[in-house]
Amino acid sequence: MSRFKRSISLALGAVLALTLMNGASARVRTVVREPFNGTAPELGRRWHDVDGDWRRAKGSARIVEGSVSARTNVAYSVRTMRSAYGKRGLAITAKLRLSPGWSNVGIVGPFRDVGNHLFCKVERTKPHPEGFLAIGRRLHGHKPEILEHGNQIGLDAGERYVLKATRKGANTTCSISQKGTRLAILTYTLRATDRSAFGSGRKVGIRMRLVARGTRRDEDDGRSRFERFTVKTMS
């Protein structure tokens, strides 16, 4: 082989290797993997509780009764990532077990702070005994606002489900499945106000709405729990 042909061959090989490396780096990558195992009662130093206290118990994350903010009735625990991953895309997945009573639980992301974030939640409450799936947001500290929803999705008390939220650029989804069967999915496109308020948020996490004042328990009785939480980049 001539020196010229050998140089061309080496150059093409270098381009091919660089292409393969870039392709590999663009593959799905796990950013957060949390099975909620361990003996420590707290979720861990990487988690930050907001408006309520969470604890580990028997391989799950649960709320501490009586700790949820009486002002908002919503508690979170969030983790900070290195990037918002808005352009590349992000998938947030939680395996959860609904309470044998009422449930109102979800996942959050992008989450900038308690007053600016997007959430994907599922309910089995008195107003929605057959199940309710929703995409919602908090914007500039205002009350939670439902943006898209689906009702009567066939949820059962005490059963395990997988809740998943995805975001790529302005496009978001919220879905729930059981044993590999998708029960419902919603889509929402982030508006300019959303992207300005929380689009660059680098936090993700879990959420529960619990209204339990005296005999009033119309949202969640605190027995819903999260058994696994993962965050992956999208290819």
What CATH code is carried by the domain that includes residue 201?
2.60.120.560
Residue 42 lies in a domain: yes
- Looking at residue 204, its pLDDT comes to 98
Residue 21 lies in a domain: no
Q: Supply the DSSP symbol for 12.
A: H
Show Cβ contacts of residue 78 under 8 Å, excluding neighbours closer than 6 positions.
Answer: 47, 48, 50, 108, 111, 203, 204, 205, 206
- Looking at residue 157, its pLDDT comes to 96
| H/E segment holding residue 22 | helix 3-25
Burial label for 69, CB within 10 Å (0-12, 13-18, 19+), is: middle
For 58-114, what is each residue's pLDDT tens digit? 899 999 988 998 888 899 999 999 998 988 899 999 999 999 999 999 999 999 999
Residue 195 lies in a domain: yes
Residue 107 lies in a domain: yes
Residue 22 lies in a domain: no
Residue 60 lies in a domain: yes
Residue 15 lies in a domain: no
For 23-55, what is each residue's pLDDT tens digit? 444 578 999 999 998 877 889 889 999 999 999
- Structurally, the chain folds into a number of domains equal to 1
Residue 66 lies in a domain: yes
Give pTM, 2 decimals: 0.85
Print the domain residue range for 138: 29-233
